[in-house]
Structure 1
Amino acid sequence: EESTQEKLPSAITESLRLYKEALASNDEPKIVEIETFLQSLYEEKKVLQNKVAALSIEVALERDRRLRINADFYNFRKRVETERLSLVTNMREEVVESLLPVLDNFERAKSEIKVETDGEKKINSSYQSIFKQYLETLRSLGVVPVDSAGNPYEPTAKDSKLNRLQDFFQAFSNVRSGFMKKWIQS
Structure 2
Amino acid sequence: MANEEKEKVNETEEQEAVEAEVIDAAPAEESETNNEGSERLAQLEQEKNEMYDRLLRLQAEYDNFRKRTQKEKEAASKYRSQDLAEALLPVVDNLDRALQTVQNEEANKGFVDGIRMVHRQLLDAFDNQGIETIETVGQTFDPHLHQAVMQVENDEYEPNTVVQELQKGYKLKDRVIRPAMVQVNQ
Deviation of residue 70 (structure 1)?
2.5
Instruction: Mark the CA change 1:83 to 1:146 in structure 2 (over 3 Å): closer, same or farther.
Output: closer
- Which residue is equivalent to 1:104? 93
75-84 or 57-66, larger mean C-alpha shift? 75-84
The DSSP-based 3-state class of the residue aligned with 2:123 is helix
Unmatched 5+ stretches in structure 1 = 1-25, 156-169
2:50 is the counterpart of 1:61: yes
Q: How far apart are the structure 1 equivalents of 2:76 and 2:59?
A: 25
The DSSP-based 3-state class of the residue aligned with 1:32 is helix
Contact 1:106 1:131 in 2 (8 A): yes
Within the candidate set 153, 169, 180, 1:179 is matched to: 169
Give 2:123's aligned amino acid.
L
Q: How far apart are the structure 2 equivalents of 1:69 and 1:146?
A: 45
The higher radius of gyration belongs to 2
Deviation of residue 183 (structure 1)?
4.8
TM-score (norm 2): 0.55
The DSSP-based 3-state class of the residue aligned with 1:103 is helix
The DSSP-based 3-state class of the residue aligned with 1:144 is strand
Bigger share in helix: 1
- Which residue is equivalent to 2:125? 137
Instruction: Mark the CA change 1:68 to 1:147 in structure 2 (over 3 Å): closer, same or farther.
Output: closer
Deviation of residue 41 (structure 1)?
1.6
Q: How far apart are the structure 1 equivalents of 2:93 and 2:99?
A: 10
Q: How far apart are the structure 2 equivalents of 1:98 and 1:136?
A: 16
Q: How far apart are the structure 2 equivalents of 1:174 and 1:82?
A: 28
Instruction: Mark the CA change 1:107 to 1:37 in structure 2 (over 3 Å): closer, same or farther.
Output: same
TM-score (norm 1): 0.55
Q: Identity percentage over the alignment?
A: 21
Give 2:133's aligned amino acid.
P
Give 1:39's aligned amino acid.
A
Q: How many residues align?
A: 141
Q: How far apart are the structure 1 equivalents of 2:78 and 2:146?
A: 15
The DSSP-based 3-state class of the residue aligned with 1:27 is helix
Deviation of residue 180 (structure 1)?
3.3
Deviation of residue 54 (structure 1)?
0.1
Coordinate RMSD, CA, aligned: 3.8
Instruction: Mark the CA change 1:83 to 1:89 in structure 2 (over 3 Å): closer, same or farther.
Output: same
Alignment of 1:33-44 (within 5 A): 33-44=22-33
Give 1:138's aligned amino acid.
F
Bigger share in strand: 2
Q: How far apart are the structure 2 equivalents of 1:92 and 1:73?
A: 30
Contact 1:143 1:180 in 2 (8 A): yes
Q: How far apart are the structure 2 equivalents of 1:101 and 1:153?
A: 26
106-115 or 26-35, larger mean C-alpha shift? 106-115
Contact 1:174 1:181 in 2 (8 A): no
Instruction: Mark the CA change 1:147 to 1:86 in structure 2 (over 3 Å): closer, same or farther.
Output: closer
Write out per-residue CA displacement over residues 26-62 of structure 1, whole angstroms, 9 at most, x where no aligned residue: 9211111222222222211111101110011101111
